[in-house]
Structure 1
Amino acid sequence: MVLLRLDSHALSRSRFALSPLAETLGAAIALSRPCTDPWLAPWHARHQAAFRAVLDADPFARGMVALIGSTKYLPDHVSLSPPDGMRTRLHDELAQMALVPDQALGKSLRLAVEASWERHDLGAWLTGRNWAARTAKLFQRLWDTHLAADWPRRRALLERDVSYRAGLLAAYGWPRAVERMNRHSAWVGADAIRFSNRPGHDRVVGPQGMLFVPYTRAARGSWLCEAPGLPYALVYPARGTGDRPSVRPGTRDQALARLLGTGRAAILRALERPATSSELAAELDLSLGTVGGHLAVLREADLVVGERTGRRVVYRRTDAGEVLATGATAMPDTGTPLGGRPDGR
């Protein structure tokens, strides 16, 4: 079991952050693998051709993406802590990435190869110099092609997750705020977060605190960013998806709409991640009164429940609502964790 140990100073200075770099990393990993998530299928299909064209034209890009998509140890240069909290820009993260020297990067890549479940020949593609700068250029291209146009919507989804957890923090403290950030995360004792159930050494978080960074669930898993001089950052999948689900004839979504009505079905689907009525109204482009009326019906049917966190009421699906919306009896598994230090691996 891997624990992140935080003293009182670390707790008081821990905070949430956003990372376009983490979003790009998650998208690259998702596009490098077959799509098994129906929520992501439309996005995955739209971007596959352009993604493959980039990899086919550049052996370095192909080798780097293949490695980060098939290892339990993400190379350090792609898993750096965001430098500016909620205002972090990709430009600044890539500038930070480009500074990693080849010697350090080579060592990190070899560790990633050792932790991979596939065979990799670094010598076949790790040629030339300035590998970190070349990776930064690749990530910029992936961002421009696959994410930039959709970033405002994705950012809103991530901010909604942060808002929800910040409300839990204000009302109940860090133990509730970190609950279910990944499959194993939980507060342990008086001063520690359980990051993983797997064997590994504990980390001691210093007085600068640590960052909690959501990303849309284009990939699955969570990872720990750690580098000298930077705070630890736990990157975790926000509850929700990286693409708008479409309602197709004959799908479960269409059947749900016939059963509950289009508006109530949309709200139940949107509550894959807890939200306030105002957040639901903004996301679904509905009036606040309409959302309130639908929520009242869903509450009476015991499909959703509202919990007060500070001055806000945050709605979530009940177990019955989860079954009706997804057919699952528990929150969907976020998959095998990834990681710069993935679940301590």
Structure 2
Amino acid sequence: MVLLRLSSMALSRSRFALSPLAETLGSMSVLTKPCSDPWLTPWYTRHHDAFHAVLDADPFAKGLVELICSTKYLPGYVTLPPSGGMRTALADELKPVAAARDETVRVDLEAAVAHSWERHDLRWLTGHGWGARTADLFRYTWEEHVLPDWTRRRALLERDISYRAGLLAAYGWPRALQQMNRRSAWVGADAIRFSHQPGPDRVVGEDGMLFVPICVTTGTWLSEEPPARYALVYPARGSAADPTGQRGPARALERLIGAGRAALLHELERPATSTELAIHLGQSLGTIGGHLAVLRDADLIVGTRVGRRVVYRRTETGDRLAARHAI
């Protein structure tokens, strides 16, 4: 069992972050397999063929992606923790990737082959400048296949962070980590269980852990940068939701409180801010604000301030009403 051990200082400084590099890596994995996620299906359909055409034309890119998507050990040179917090830029993340020495890349890829559940060889690893070639592949995938969808994805990621920040403020880190993935859990007073597999414990540095959501339904990994920087990448809540953001509430509830308010009440199965709701439901902030005021006056929802934002959630009455009229 692998444990991430945190001092009280490291725990107090742990925080959430975004990583375009991790989002791109997760997207590569989605594009190489059959897509079962309705939230990503329209995106998958638009980008699948073009992505595979690029891989088929470049043996290095194809070999790298196929290995990354079929191993329990992701190469360390492409999984460094993000350094820009919520404003991390892909260009900054790709600098150390491009600068990775060929010797480092080969060692990482050989370890990935050794931990793969498929048979691989490294015959495609020819020439030199493998770090720079890897950075070029990630930059292409981001610009052509992820960036056009980033506004929608970022809204979902920020919503997950808002939800967990609310749990953190109310209950502390153990509750905020619940259901982050199937394996991770708080252990004792100072450790996070990352994996059931045997391995040495890691001691998190005084700057604390980073928790990085991505828009895939599966896929968790630990990003590591010596001597003691760590980031836990995990699937964001709600990434398997309907791509339109609409859950189709029952007609009876629509007649009772209106179609817009019914959709919003169902959407608040997961707490969110008014801005996140507006983006996800495709409505103006003014419209969302009006619906929230009515639902709040009816004691169906409640708002809780988390820093500068107000996160809305259903009350017990709202839960019962939504459950009774769910399809």
Fold match (TM-score > 0.5): yes
Structure 1 Cα separation of the partners of residues 54 and 142 of structure 2: 12
Structure 1 Cα separation of the partners of residues 320 and 53 of structure 2: 43
Structure 2 Cα separation of the partners of residues 66 and 84 of structure 1: 29
Equivalent residues in 2 for 1:176-187, closer than 5 Å: 176-187=175-186
Equivalent residues in 2 for 1:99-118, closer than 5 Å: 99-118=99-118
Q: Secondary structure at the match of 2:225?
A: coil
Output one character per residue of 1:23-45: Cα deviation in whole Å (capped at 9) or x when no partner.
10010000011112233221111
Q: How much does 1:314 deviate?
A: 3.6
Cα distance change of structure 1 residues 295 and 48 upon mapping to structure 2, 3 Å threshold:
farther
The answer on 1:315 being equivalent to 2:316 is: no
Tell me the equivalent position of 1:127.
Answer: 126
Q: Secondary structure at the match of 1:175?
A: helix
Q: How much does 1:16 deviate?
A: 1.4
Q: How much does 1:244 deviate?
A: 6.5
Structure 1 Cα separation of the partners of residues 152 and 280 of structure 2: 9
Tell me the equivalent position of 1:12.
Answer: 12
RMSD of aligned Cα (Å): 2.9
5+ long unaligned stretches in structure 2: none
Tell me the equivalent position of 1:223.
Answer: 221
Amino acid of the structure 2 residue aligned with 1:240: G
Tell me the equivalent position of 2:92.
Answer: 92
Tell me the equivalent position of 1:241.
Answer: 239
Structure 2 Cα separation of the partners of residues 295 and 39 of structure 1: 29
Q: Secondary structure at the match of 1:122?
A: coil
Tell me the equivalent position of 2:163.
Answer: 164
Output one character per residue of 1:176-210: Cα deviation in whole Å (capped at 9) or x when no partner.
22222112322221111122233332211121212
Amino acid of the structure 1 residue aligned with 2:236: A
Q: Secondary structure at the match of 1:236?
A: strand
Q: How much does 1:257 deviate?
A: 5.2
Tell me the equivalent position of 1:288.
Answer: 289
Amino acid of the structure 2 residue aligned with 1:293: V
Q: Secondary structure at the match of 1:37?
A: coil
Q: Secondary structure at the match of 1:291?
A: helix
Tell me the equivalent position of 2:27.
Answer: 27
Amino acid of the structure 1 residue aligned with 2:202: R
Structure 1 Cα separation of the partners of residues 319 and 72 of structure 2: 34
The answer on 1:153 being equivalent to 2:129 is: no
Tell me the equivalent position of 1:302.
Answer: none
Q: How much does 1:253 deviate?
A: 4.5
Q: How much does 1:296 deviate?
A: 7.1
Amino acid of the structure 1 residue aligned with 2:264: I
Q: How much does 1:230 deviate?
A: 6.0
Cα distance change of structure 1 residues 297 and 129 upon mapping to structure 2, 3 Å threshold:
farther
Structure 2 Cα separation of the partners of residues 2 and 95 of structure 1: 29
Structure 2 Cα separation of the partners of residues 144 and 192 of structure 1: 37
Structure 2 Cα separation of the partners of residues 242 and 91 of structure 1: 28
Aligned partner of 2:272 among 267, 270, 275: 275
Output one character per residue of 1:107-136: Cα deviation in whole Å (capped at 9) or x when no partner.
11111111111111211x111111111010
The answer on whether the counterparts of 2:266 and 2:322 sit within 8 Å (CA) in structure 1 is no
Tell me the equivalent position of 1:190.
Answer: 189
Identical-pair percentage? 59
TM-score (norm 2): 0.85
5+ long unaligned stretches in structure 1: 300-304, 328-345
Q: How much does 1:313 deviate?
A: 4.5
Q: How much does 1:236 deviate?
A: 1.0
Structure 2 Cα separation of the partners of residues 39 and 295 of structure 1: 29
Structure 2 Cα separation of the partners of residues 195 and 306 of structure 1: 34
Structure 1 Cα separation of the partners of residues 203 and 238 of structure 2: 30
Q: How much does 1:264 deviate?
A: 4.6
Q: How much does 1:69 deviate?
A: 0.8
The answer on whether the counterparts of 1:212 and 1:234 sit within 8 Å (CA) in structure 2 is yes
Structure 1 Cα separation of the partners of residues 148 and 241 of structure 2: 12
Structure 1 Cα separation of the partners of residues 213 and 86 of structure 2: 11
